[in-house]
Structure 1
């Protein structure tokens, strides 16, 4: 049984008029397994004895998305298309403006189920659909959360100051919200076709027709889809979990790489956690398992709390704490030994060999280990004309190159560099009381020589 806290009635007409089908508008949760919104749609279709259409609309100009992002997403959508066929679920794809492509459904649809998105572009899409339907059509809209184990509002009712605020609440409520059992079977297998089938056999043909930045290429190691996520995750659990406390070392590559698959909704955090619980190493390495859960559930929940309760989470003026703005203002005129342009930063033209390598890794692969991401951001803060300039550069490069960019975790992690969810440190030039990082810390802690060798071979 799906937990009631996941379900929100967005629009209710209180009418007995019955449409011809149920529509699940898939957007964030790009998968059929461990998809609460899809399961809810199937159960509602069974209850009303109606067929179901699962529909995904590809926006040709999604904000800041490029060839790397679209390819990863389409690889996942191709797998969904195949999975739906196996499960006798009718799946439709369209490309174009959302408000145009949804209209053919609206004359005959009974209820629209949509999954939940937390960022501004996702909320804007859902609001557009709501406004079209509200005063013109007799259609119910139901939103079902499937992106988090514990829905944001059910976990904590306001912006959390730090992870320590929600950690105990996560552990207290976690098992209560592990509510997914298995994919329900659809009773009415009638097919109602609205959009012509879209052939995903050649993804390159599709992306070549989109008006997007094609300079940021996909990387062979990271392909989209749940099956690819499973390959990474199984290798991580079997080979790397025992060393999870060494994950900060960028030379060791002790990574599950789940952030990118979670970003596109191609795998569920609840499914990942169940796999961990079922794995023999879960009890064999309890401290490593707890560390993994901290990142998967606690830190991720904190990021979603941030973008939910901080209205302008993506604007420099509103994303951090008062003390952080005060200390940044006090040191705004401090002399910088180096000031680099966006081009110099983006294309690894700084004096710092470790920063240059990290930026190169991001450009080529779309990934960078978390500790190195912090160092990378701190250096941009140190080398920019102002902290606001630094913030804008970090967000731009994060969203352009990282496969898991444009995500609540990204915005939360970037804000952390500017004091959000952190504390005041000893005061110093440029940073004031913000946390500072330098290359000596990297050299002291990690095998940076091996990391440089790895990047040079990319």
Structure 2
């Protein structure tokens, strides 16, 4: 494994008698193809110490909705079983605060705590708190990106065209096969103090649990294989919401149930996939996804209008007082009660199916800007709806997509118009020219009707 993946959060002297190496699994929830787990195993064997895999639902989903927490929770029995089959011990902690988790970590006297990279503020705050309440060395391993975010660039990139050559130049170095995961040489012989897996608590107005996505590492691999073998040929039609052309991998990538690197290797290894389809898929999966992580990592204001480029802030300020033909409350938007049947269908897709088509996400967010009183309100509502209802919410892809749609991140000025200023505009008639709007609306309606009541 390349050392550039490893960021030492803290280098520390070993305890006098270290008892373990702990891998705190908080983003990459899988056993296979997991760089952080492989690194933790290597360190445990090198130090002749047992390896423990620690999981804490609150630490993995500090801002997740009930829908997201339940989807992740449903994968845990399989995850624990897969680890134990390899001979790796699994430790569950039901703590709700970082200090409580840190107290458990301290009991096992680790020489090293290994954890996953995250660009998002809630996860970074948890890691900072763990650092404050422990004394062991801490290593953060970037298993989300193929080219580690810190190594790909040392600044926020302007657009895809500026990060693309950097990633392509480094891709061959990092796009390597994964070593085989083996059993650790030592096992923990004391009490594990593992707590029972406890179903997350529902909250008032919690979004319904989804039945159209199966959770877990095996399900993620099945979705990947189905896409590469059956659907990638249609991927050039990915911007047509009426075509079944998308991979549907985003919930699994978000929770780390499948590795983006594995998805790339599987796609490249398939001999019959058209070269153009491979190229477009890899642009989305590698360049655009890693651009999103770059944005959130280097711009902590990714969830507010303060992240917008100067030209976008100026043009939105200029048009802040423009009259709106329609103004909708958050509740009206949430329930899909607008005058626009296309937007309503996209919101129904999010509300009931847990994932909106990629092209519709752009249209959906831009209309929220058009139908709310300010860019700040638009950002708040779009982020709330996406993070509450989408299985792949609370993700750098989602924050970047919303900031692109509302605030011109990674984009350029366009022709000036009311409300939007020079932010790129999208409308119903433009959508009609691209795809069969009525067919999309009907498809969503039919899919929602098929859901169990």
SS of equivalent to 1:193: coil
Aligned to 2:117: 116
In structure 2, list runs of 5 or more residues that go unmatched. 449-453
Aligned to 2:218: 227
1:77, distance to aligned residue in structure 2 (A): 2.0
1:412 aligns with 2:400: yes
Alignment of 1:103-142 (within 5 A): 103-107=103-107, 108-133=109-134, 137=135, 139-142=136-139
Q: 8 Å contact 1:54–1:90 — kept in the other structure?
A: yes
1:172 aligns with 2:169: yes
d(CA) in 2 for partners of 1:98 and 1:15?
22
Q: Indicate how the Cα distance of structure 1 residues 69 and 15 shifts in structure 2: closer, same or farther if over 3 A, else same.
A: closer
- Which of the residues 387, 391, 395 maps onto 1:399? 387
Cα deviation code 1:169-206 (max 9, x no counterpart): 2111112012433224321234443323524xxxxx71
d(CA) in 2 for partners of 1:226 and 1:252?
26
Q: 8 Å contact 1:338–1:383 — kept in the other structure?
A: yes
TM-score, normalised to structure 2, is: 0.94
d(CA) in 2 for partners of 1:195 and 1:98?
17
Alignment of 1:11-410 (within 5 A): 11-15=10-14, 17-59=16-58, 62-96=61-95, 97-107=97-107, 108-133=109-134, 137=135, 139-179=136-176, 180-199=178-197, 206-207=199-200, 210=201, 212-213=203-204, 215-282=206-273, 285-316=274-305, 318-410=306-398
Cα deviation code 1:209-254 (max 9, x no counterpart): x264563112212122111112222221122111111111111121
Q: Indicate how the Cα distance of structure 1 residues 168 and 61 shifts in structure 2: closer, same or farther if over 3 A, else same.
A: closer
In structure 1, list runs of 5 or more residues that go unmatched. 200-204
1:288, distance to aligned residue in structure 2 (A): 0.7
Q: How many residues align?
A: 443
d(CA) in 1 for partners of 2:133 and 2:15?
21
Q: 8 Å contact 2:67–2:207 — kept in the other structure?
A: yes
Deviates more, 1:186-195 or 1:43-52: 186-195
1:452 aligns with 2:453: no
d(CA) in 2 for partners of 1:426 and 1:155?
33
Cα deviation code 1:244-282 (max 9, x no counterpart): 111111111211111111111111111111111121233
Q: 8 Å contact 1:22–1:50 — kept in the other structure?
A: yes
Q: Indicate how the Cα distance of structure 1 residues 213 and 26 shifts in structure 2: closer, same or farther if over 3 A, else same.
A: farther
Aligned to 1:202: none
d(CA) in 2 for partners of 1:188 and 1:412?
43
Q: RMSD of aligned C-alpha atoms?
A: 1.7
Q: Indicate how the Cα distance of structure 1 residues 297 and 193 shifts in structure 2: closer, same or farther if over 3 A, else same.
A: farther
1:64, distance to aligned residue in structure 2 (A): 3.9
Q: 8 Å contact 1:105–1:194 — kept in the other structure?
A: no
Q: 8 Å contact 2:88–2:183 — kept in the other structure?
A: no
d(CA) in 1 for partners of 2:183 and 2:88?
9
Q: Indicate how the Cα distance of structure 1 residues 360 and 345 shifts in structure 2: closer, same or farther if over 3 A, else same.
A: same
Cα deviation code 1:91-123 (max 9, x no counterpart): 011112332133133142222111211100000
